[in-house]
Structure 1
Amino acid sequence: KQKTKIESKNWLVVSGMQRHPTSLQIHLVATACVFNLTTQDLAQAMPISLLSSTVTQLLNTMKNFPNHQQVQKNCLLALCSDYILQEVPFDKYLAAMLVINWLSSHEDPTLQRMAVAVISILVAKLSTEEMAQFSKDIFIMKQLLAIVQQKAMVGVVDSTLKFALSALWNLTDEMPVAARNFIECRGLELYEEVLESYYTEPSIQQKVLGLLNNIAEVEELQADLMEEDILEHILSLLQDSQVDVGVRYFAGGILAHLASRPDAWTLENELRSTVLKQLHDSIMTWTHLEREMVSYRSFHPFCPLLQTCQPAGVQLWAVWAIHLVCTQNTSHYSSMLEKEGLTELLKALAAHPSTHSDIKGLSDSVLSMVEQHQIHAGAFNNQTAPQRS
């Protein structure tokens, strides 16, 4: 009975908003009601279709009253719900655009934290096409970098900084235009400072190095990373056994991508040789990670690193990375390896006479996981296939 009562109230509020799209007074009261009706466990007790209509109406209200602070605040408070952001279908792209626009003119720390958290979650939910569109906007890059700078200037570690770094990392993932925007907005200089000043904060360092990995994957931007100071700093993180494995993993990724193209390497050859040796030596000491640390949109950036002509250090980082994610989510990544043709590259690598035994072992292990997954998937499909009479 209680559930029906709350649902009825929510329907009434939403229909009132729909019937009076231009009445500020109604939307001011209605958005506050929506927030109260969708807090805590109340949202989970409602039908998804009702929540979907409610969020769509909130977005319309944000569009219609862009300059009314209390209305925007009420909408943001209602949106800032893990359940709504993760489970409810609505236009995530529109929501992200509305929240980033709101963020540009507000500096209230509590609301800023909520807005950045919402953006960070929404960005991870966008389709590849939506992400390409969203990440092209240099205004968005500037907004998020301004927040990182604001936090870094006072050396604070808080959820706003972490959410902003996560959003930037996602924005540049296999998005070369966004990666270029990042460099044009002087993001590299800012990230170098953050890397050095937050050297005791692995959660911050991982996010910074994760984004630098995204830049290192873009061939035409690799030259921007060819600075001795920054590379030696990243190399020192790779080598340091006291540093979190997650941090060393991303440091290794940047160095592997840069060292994979000898023609594009503009620094001393001796440094490249050191990088390649340290990649191999360091990776062999890494312990397996249980927690999920990274997810890949695709394995395309790994293809150049898995060629049989690559140095062992480069190959080893790529195979270790693939092995890591396949162990943590075998079904998803086995299918991706098959679909994108990486199983063929791994087979060629494992069979090549000059491939190092460490790399052969890991490659075989990945191929074995893929094979097991295919067997299980085949057995499951046979069980669920309709029986012929």
Structure 2
Amino acid sequence: ISGDANEDQILTAAVAYMGRPVMLMRVLNDLYYLFRYENNAHVPRALSIVLDAMDQHLGEKHIQISGSATLFYIVKGKEKANIGIRLKRRIITALLVGMEAHLGDDTMMRNGCLTLCQFKIPTDVLFEYERVVLILLNGVADVNQEGFVQRIAIYLLNSLACQVDGVQKRFLGDHGAIGKMLNLISDRLERRVCDDVLEVAWSTMWNVTDETPQNCLKFLENRGMEYFLACLKNFPDKEELLRNMMGLLGNVAEVQELRPQLMNQLFLSVFYELLDSSSDGIEVSYNAAGVLAHMASDGPEAWTVKEPAREAVLNRVASAVARWDLHAERNINYRSFEPILSLLSAHHTPQCQHWAVWALANLTTVYPDKYCSLVEAEGGIRLLNELLLHDAPYPCIKALARRVISNCERHLAPAEPAAPPPDPEVPCMEN
């Protein structure tokens, strides 16, 4: 017996009509409404039928749309916890294959993206990473896609970009992620619109350039600095936007061979002014100081512009660092301290060391569980002890260095409860 009266009959009808797409589509629509509005007793059976239908009728757009919509409610429902890894992967692959086959269809892309959002990103989709990235980049790039698809695709891309390793970040860059983000930014600038897509586009580039010099170069080659200046001019009061842009430029400035491209009077003047910014707490000022510290670490001969003068910039960097609250909670995530630790040996320019030790002191004070072991693993304690033996660093730098060492010693050998160390009492100004 088959029909659309109840769940059993719908599932029986779906099996019976599996080879007849027109009838199957009607049955799948009934199944969709059943999952959307009612409780269902036979979730595993229904899931198997939907996946079979999608596998067998890849070219039937309406079956893919109906199937993906039903999958959304299945993976969103109370049975979600009972879906094992193998079945979860089969669902994700079915969605991606359906999206690939119907890339130009808004509804299919929308259903697929919404359903992917129900999974743990990136963990659950890493086995199909390259396929997911290419589909999402298509969703971001297609100007004909409705705004919702573009918005959800860029959120998914950003979630992927911030949690994957260098090889996967390079894959994003190699397949045009930077250019597509800048196209979105260009569109927003033309329309004078500062929305979440603009902010997430910058955030995505911040993430894909993290410790990935090739992607930093792509940003510069694609006229990224022009877009930075245009956004700064058109949307000067948007804190999240400014933070994301300066985070990205912090990544670019960490790449020594790219720093000469930032050695430009206009760019330096902007970074110099942003040192005094209170936008988004300390984040914008912190990133501006980081950019300038890395640029100054190349030595006086590398500072090829007259204005702003190197000494004036360094004095303002030191003043900015002195103002920041050592206990400030941060909106930043470090996977490695290598770029910061490299500044500890810049004895020719102690202000570079000042920014670096403040960063380490802040992060090991506020987030000891996360960052003390990272300082230790990357040889930071040895470098800090070497800094303490050197004559060049001014007193506040050494006080902050001792703070980092004591934070790490206390965290890595917690034999008994200890009082927190006092804040450095030496005024944080240059000699």
Deviation at 1:33, TM superposition (A): 1.0
Whether 1:187 and 2:210 are equivalent positions in the alignment is no
- 2:38 paired with 1:12: no
- Residue in 1 aligned with 2:70? 33
Correspondence for 1:352 among 375, 390, 402: 390
Change (3 A) 1:141 1:273: same
3-state SS of paired residue (1:38): helix
Q: CA deviation at 1:43?
A: 6.9
* Aligned residue runs from structure 1 range 213-362, under 5 A: 213-240=250-277, 244-262=281-299, 263-268=301-306, 271-288=309-326, 290-307=328-345, 309-362=347-400
Equivalent position of 1:141 in the other structure:
178
2:234 matched to 1:207?
A: no
- Please tell me whether the aligned partners of residues 202 and 244 of structure 1 are also in contact (alpha carbons under 8 angstroms): no
Secondary structure class of the residue paired with 2:323: coil
Counterpart amino acid of residue 212 in structure 2: M
Corresponding residue of 1:153: 190
Letter in 1 for 2:380: L
Q: CA RMSD in A?
A: 2.7
Q: Which amino acid aligns with 1:56?
A: T
CA distance 1:310–1:16, shift in 2 (3 Å): farther
User: Measured at CA, do residues 179 and 242 of structure 1 come closer, stay the same or move farther in structure 2, by a change above 3 Å?
Assistant: closer
Q: Which of 101, 112, 130 in structure 2 is aligned with 1:75?
A: 112
- Residues 244 and 65 from structure 1, CA distance in 2 versus in 1: closer, same or farther, beyond 3 angstroms? same
CA distance in 2, matches of 1:132, 1:371: 36
Give the aligned length: 376
Q: Structure 1 330/184 Cα, relative in aligned 2: closer, same or farther at 3 Å?
A: same
Structure 1 94/369 Cα, relative in aligned 2: closer, same or farther at 3 Å? farther
Shift of 1:312: 1.9
Amino acid of the structure 1 residue aligned with 2:206: W
AA aligned opposite 2:151: R
Give the C-alpha shift of residue 44 in structure 1: 4.6
Q: Kindly provide the CA deviation profile for residues 81-131 of structure 1, in whole angstroms up to 9, marking residues without a partner as x.
A: 4x5426635433421221102322234222211111111111113222211
Q: Distance in 1 between matches of 2:102 and 2:165?
A: 27
Alignment of 1:79-94 (within 5 A): 79-81=116-118, 83-85=119-121, 88-90=124-126, 91-94=128-131
Q: Are residues 23 and 333 of structure 1, via their aligned partners in 2, closer, same or farther at CA, if it must alter by over 3 Å?
A: same
Q: Does structure 1 retain, via aligned residues, the 8 Å contact 2:274–2:288?
A: yes
Cα deviation, residue 306, structure 1: 0.8
Stretches of structure 2 lacking an aligned partner (at least 5 in a row): 1-38, 417-431
Distance 1:196 1:312, change over 3 A: farther
Query: Normalised by the size of structure 2, how large is the TM-score?
Result: 0.80
| Of 235-244 and 334-343, the range deviating more from structure 2 | 235-244
* Aligned AA (1:182): F
1:117 paired to 2:130: no
1:44-81 deviation digits (Å, cap 9, x = unpaired): 54435233331222112223333444322321221234
CA distance in 2, matches of 1:43, 1:159: 32
1:261 partner SS: coil
* Structure whose alpha-carbon radius of gyration is higher: 2
| 1:308 Cα deviation after fit | 5.1
**Contact 1:308-1:352 within 8 A present in 2 as well:** no
Q: From the superposition, tell whether residues 203 and 304 of structure 1 become closer, same or farther in structure 2 (CA, over 3 Å).
A: same
Question: Does the C-alpha gap of structure 1 residues 340 and 305 become closer, same or farther in structure 2, counting only changes over 3 Å?
Answer: same
Counterparts in 2 of 1:308 and 1:222: CA distance versus 1, 3 Å: closer
Would the aligned equivalents of 1:256 and 1:313 in 2 still touch at CA under 8 Å? yes
TM-score normalised per structure 1: 0.88
Instruction: Decide whether the 8 Å contact of 1:104 with 1:143 is kept in 2.
Output: yes
Does structure 1 conserve the Cα–Cα contact (< 8 Å) formed by 2:347 and 2:353? no
Distance change in 2, residues 1:59/1:74 (3 Å): same
List runs of 5+ in structure 1 lacking aligned partners: 379-389
Q: Secondary structure at the match of 1:85?
A: coil
Would you say the 8 A contact 1:237–1:243 is kept in 2? no
Check whether the contact 2:106–2:146 (CA below 8 A) recurs between aligned residues: no
User: Which residue type is aligned with residue 121 of structure 2?
Assistant: L
Distance (whole Å) between structure 2 residues aligned to residue 42 and residue 348 of structure 1: 57
